Amino acid sequence: MAFEEHAGTDVHPVDEIPPPGRMLAFGAQHVAAMYAGVVAPPLIVGEALGMPGQQRTLLIGASLLTAGMATLLQSWGIWRIGARLPFVNGVTFGSVAPILAIVAQPADGNPLSVVYGAVLVAGVLGFLLAPRFSRLVRFFPPVVTGAVITLIGLSLLPVAVGWIAGRDPAAPDHAAPGRVALGAATFALVLLGNRFLRGFWNRISLLLGLLAGTVLAWPFGFVDATTFAQAPVFSAPVPFALGAPSFSWSATLSLCVVMLVAMLESTADMIALGEIVERPADERTIAAGLRADGAGSALSAVFGGFTCSAFAQNVGLVAMTRVRSRYVVATGGGVLVLLGLFPVAGAVVSLVPQPVLGGAALVLFGSVAAGGIRTLGRADLGDPAQALVVAGSLGVGLIPVVQPDFYAHAPAALRAVLDSGISTGCLAALALNALFHRRATADHAAPPDPSPGG
């Protein structure tokens, strides 16, 4: 549904500009949905490097700043860069494992310099390959698109559950009743708000659920306010402040593979988002979006961030709230830039406890899966071949989701692809659809049997 005040106009909901107050609230909601995903990679890398608190804060600030820049590129668009959809970009978690492998190698200089050199090259490669990569869109009929969108939602659900239970199974509070109750309460609040609130309040039901969940969590000690003590008020972006790029063939190759995987996932996410906002992502749109991925990643390397890609949880937020304006997401990108420039403001967002975020994320990720199921409704699943495409792609794609170490003995160069359920499932869907479609075409074109009675 479009914004009420624009009803009856010829402006597509994607291009509508809501009033400033609403636009800021909707944009902040997108930031709240993605914040944990943006700060997790720099936290993990900073911890692996043993960086002091101040440097770690700079690393987090750089990731927020560059996520905001990449999001602005995607949603607002410059020249032929940016999908001009409500599409959020940020540091892809798929880059974490290769980066940890790079920084673990013995080196004389700053290991982050090698990482930034590799990210810079990978970003340029992604930018240059965008037009060719975008041609994949022709291989995404409803049966493939629906299977991939469903898989995106299903593969993200364990992330939400991990936020609720806690990521360390050995921790004393792992899956503690308090954490589970807090996640369940937030889950219920977001659902009830989305069902019973009306108008503007319905659109910000996720933000209201996060606020209410945080208030509920405060008396029980789940809200950690110590971040304020370490966060500086302002941090000016300085190019290469955390390390000037240096280059290694092995590091560059591994992050180029990550970039290709990120481009595949972004293509799937753009197709999913196009379905949700009723503006199908054609070849030109996908090429522009992939250019933004590449340009955002290269820019990220300059200011201390990592490889940038789509954030699928925000696709779920668009589906849930039905707020389709790309200017809302651009506003969220502006908020991310401010959070990167003013780390103390980012500390406010970090007050939301992970169990609260996990409870809200269950609704978001479930909304993505529901959108995929809706798309599958346009496919002829009564056809055994199409049903097998769905069954095979979901089966393959969920392997690393239900058993994360399943590919532990695979070559390191393949792990970036195999450990991504979205990537493996998408490749399986494309391959199975091509195989069965080709076979069906061949069977249809076969000449009639010339034998009597044939």
Residues 182-220 have pLDDT tens digits of: 999 999 999 999 899 988 898 889 889 999 999 999 998
Q: Which range in 17-31, 402-416, 427-441 is most confidently predicted, on average pLDDT? A: 17-31
pLDDT on residue 140 = 83
Q: Quick one: three-class SS letters along the chain?
A: CCCHHHCCCCCCHHHCCCCHHHHHHHHHHHHHHHHHHHHHHHHHHHHHHCCCHHHHHHHHHHHHHHHHHHHHHHHCCECCECCCCCCCEEECHHHHHHHHHHHHCCCCCCHHHHHHHHHHHHHHHHHHHHHHHHHHHHHCCHHHHHHHHHHHHHHHHHHHHHHHHCCCCCCCCCCCHHHHHHHHHHHHHHHHHHHHCCHHHHHCHHHHHHHHHHHHHHHHCCCCCCHHHHCCCCCCCCCCCCCCCCCCHHHHHHHHHHHHHHHHHHHHHHHHHHHHHCCCCCHHHHHHHHHHHHHHHHHHHHHCCCCEEECHHHHHHHHHHCCCCHHHHHHHHHHHHHHHHCHHHHHHHCCCCHHHHHHHHHHHHHHHHHHHHHHHCCCCCCCHHHHHHHHHHHHHHCHHHHCCCCCCCCCHHHHHHHCCHHHHHHHHHHHHHHHHHHHHHHHHHCCCCCCCCC
Q: Is the model more confident about 105 or about 118?
A: 118
- 312 pLDDT more than 60: yes
Q: Write down the mean pLDDT value for the chain.
A: 86
In this structure, are residues 45 and 255 in contact, taking their beta carbons and an 8 Å threshold? Answer: no
* pLDDT (0 to 100) of residue 5: 41
Q: Residue 388: what pLDDT? A: 94
pLDDT exceeds 80 at position 244 = yes
Q: Is pLDDT above 70 for 227?
A: no
Confidence (pLDDT) at 257: 79
Check residue 446 and give its pLDDT: 45
The predicted pLDDT at position 349 comes to: 73
Q: Which pLDDT score is estimated for 445? A: 46
pLDDT tens string 37-82: 888 888 788 877 878 767 777 888 899 999 999 999 999 999 999 9
Four-residue CA torsion sign, 301, 303, 309, 311: positive
pLDDT tens digits for 165-179? 987 888 999 999 999
pLDDT over 70 at 440, yes or no:
no
Confidence of residue 264 (pLDDT cuts 50, 70, 90): confident
What percent of the chain is predicted at pLDDT more than 70?
A: 92
| pLDDT of 9 | 58
Q: Give the pLDDT band of residue 27 (cuts 50, 70, 90).
A: very high
Range with lowest mean pLDDT among 230-244, 294-308, 428-442: 428-442
